Amino acid sequence: VGSGTNPGRDGALALKATIEYDGTDFFGFQVQASERTVQGEVERALEALTAEPVRVIGAGRTDRGVHAQGQVIGFRARWSHSVVDLQRALNAVLPGDVAVLALDVAPEDFHPRYSALSRRYRYTILNRPWRSALIRRTCWHVERELDVERMNQASQALIGSQDFGTFGRPPGGRDKTSVREVLDARWKEQGALLTFEIEANAFLYRMVRSIVGTLTQVGWGQISVDDFRAMLEARDHSLIRRVAPAQGLCLMQVNYAAREGVLQ
Amino acid sequence: VGSGTNPGRDGALALKATIEYDGTDFFGFQVQASERTVQGEVERALEALTAEPVRVIGAGRTDRGVHAQGQVIGFRARWSHSVVDLQRALNAVLPGDVAVLALDVAPEDFHPRYSALSRRYRYTILNRPWRSALIRRTCWHVERELDVERMNQASQALIGSQDFGTFGRPPGGRDKTSVREVLDARWKEQGALLTFEIEANAFLYRMVRSIVGTLTQVGWGQISVDDFRAMLEARDHSLIRRVAPAQGLCLMQVNYAAREGVLQ
């Protein structure tokens, strides 16, 4: 894709990037004064390459310590070379813990958050007596054995469009409701590694971590599957006793309608 | 296993541990004055727990930056509680980048290096144009496409007992020969991840990294499969042009005869 593709009235291209990051050494995605953030690093790299201030918008505002394999960001930039050259330049300039996996020209009205149809997160638990050194940054080490089948039974209650007020609060801004539609929620077991994948149109603040924390109580038999269902129906955030730690969580994918994602 | 199992004449137990480590922040396995090493951290933890100096011996002296999922160490320690308690205490005291995965009482004459029958290493290449943020510490990012089938053809020349002088030098000490027996050597492809697993009775210094570096030249067509075979037969270390970087390498397993590994 050459530089002439789809320039806006200001001569800037609307761009969509898929980025991966290791959240360990970031204070979350969103820019904060005087803290190291993913958005801040990407904006700094874009400014270094285009010699102009660039504003980056992310599809999901991941918390401090949360990772991403498929965060989507949108921005407008003036760039006189090819898009693939910009991707290469960004990967050369960005620090090792952020990488640009894909970069494409987007429709002028593309907004990574409002255009998104759904998000998919993965939560990883290492369920064995002994911790791991190699994957310590990307999993939650849970020593006591969990009953994955019970956790999967309880997870089925999450499917569908309903009020998830028990598991989180709306992030504020435009959106004041805590109704969300969960499209998929299931646990998989591979040896000692338990992974939970959950897809929803959108998520409340700390929703996945509150669900995973509560599901571990189900996995230990502290809460029955029926209790879990009753907690969900109570819409009472004060019922939450366990919030799973950030480092096990990863934003895997953000889905868009085919026409909105990328210009063909 | 209680404290009374198999104490030596000095009242100490011979112990065998399987350990995992993230080599990124270590100057290799072996103790060096004033550098952070895996052996140093484990000895320090054992001394803190037993209030005595403890000497640790490793099955393989991994280089700076090399990882392990299955390094085996041996040591003698006086410990008045159970072995499982010692494993738990070690994992509590050791830093996050070293973990003890297994701990067992060993025969009195157990030596992790001399008793080992074979070692298995894995080398991981990420073969795609864009680097990764999440697995950057445990793979070698190779942008140019590699022909894995050709690399596998060349790898077959490694199998068997032969002089590997082209790919490394003997570590010194007892062993002056560069003859080794390679039992298995093959590449697997999973999307952009290429993993090379190689098992041998023992390895020369930097042998796996020299083999992998040279095999990437085969994968790019710079060296033919026949050239690779000829290089191996030349027994000339000066032929090596590429040594793969440390961070892609991981010591996976050390194998012992059933009777020598662990007291049943």
Q: How do residues A92-106 score in pLDDT, each as one tens digit?
A: 999 999 999 999 999
Candidates B22, B87, B134; nearest CB to A69: B134
Residue with tokens 């992030």: A171
The whole-number pLDDT of residue A170 equals 85
A130 in contact with B at a CB cutoff of 8 Å? Answer: yes
Report CB contact under 8 Å: A22, B91. Answer: no
Q: Which of A100, A101, A131 sits opposite B99 (nearest CB)?
A: A131
Per-residue confidence (pLDDT) for residue A7, from 0 to 100: 66
Residue A181 dihedral angles phi and psi, to the nearest 5°: -110, 115
pLDDT recorded at residue A263: 52
Mean pLDDT, chain A, as a whole number?
A: 93
**Cβ-defined contact of B138 to A133 (cutoff 8 Å):** no
Q: Would you state the pLDDT for residue B114?
A: 93
Evaluate whether ipTM surpasses 0.85: yes
Give the whole-number percent of chain A exceeding pLDDT 90: 88
Do the Cβ atoms of A134 and B69 come within 8 Å?
yes
Give the separation between CA A219 and CA B122, rounded to whole angstroms.
34
Q: Give the residues of chain B that fall short of pLDDT 70.
A: 1-9, 173-175, 259-264
The pLDDT value given to residue B175: 65
- Which is more confidently placed, A11 or B187? B187
For A5-9, A83-87, A136-140, B168-172, which range has the lowest pLDDT when averaged over its residues?
A5-9
> What is residue B244's predicted lDDT score, i.e. its pLDDT?
98
Query: From CA B113, how far away is CA B109, in angstroms rounded?
Result: 12
Query: What integer pLDDT is reported at residue A234 of this predicted model?
Result: 97
Residue that has been written with the tokens 């003890």 in this structure: B100
Instruction: Output phi, psi for B86, to 5 deg.
Output: -65, -40
B260 vs A30, residue with greater confidence: A30
pLDDT average, residue stretch A154-177 = 89
The pLDDT value given to residue B10:
77
Interacting residues of A159 by C-beta distance below 8 A, sequence separation 6+: A182, A183, A184, A185
What's the CA angle centered on A21, arms A15 and A27, to 5 degrees?
A: 105
A118-130 pLDDT tens trace:
999 999 999 999 9
Tell me if B134 and A67 make a contact (CB, 8 A cut-off).
yes
Q: Which residues of A are catalytic?
A: 63
Q: Is the pLDDT of residue A260 over 60?
A: no
Q: What angle do CA B122, B127, B133 make, to 5 degrees?
A: 85
pLDDT at residue number A33:
84
Interatomic CA distance for residues B188 and A135, integer angstroms: 21
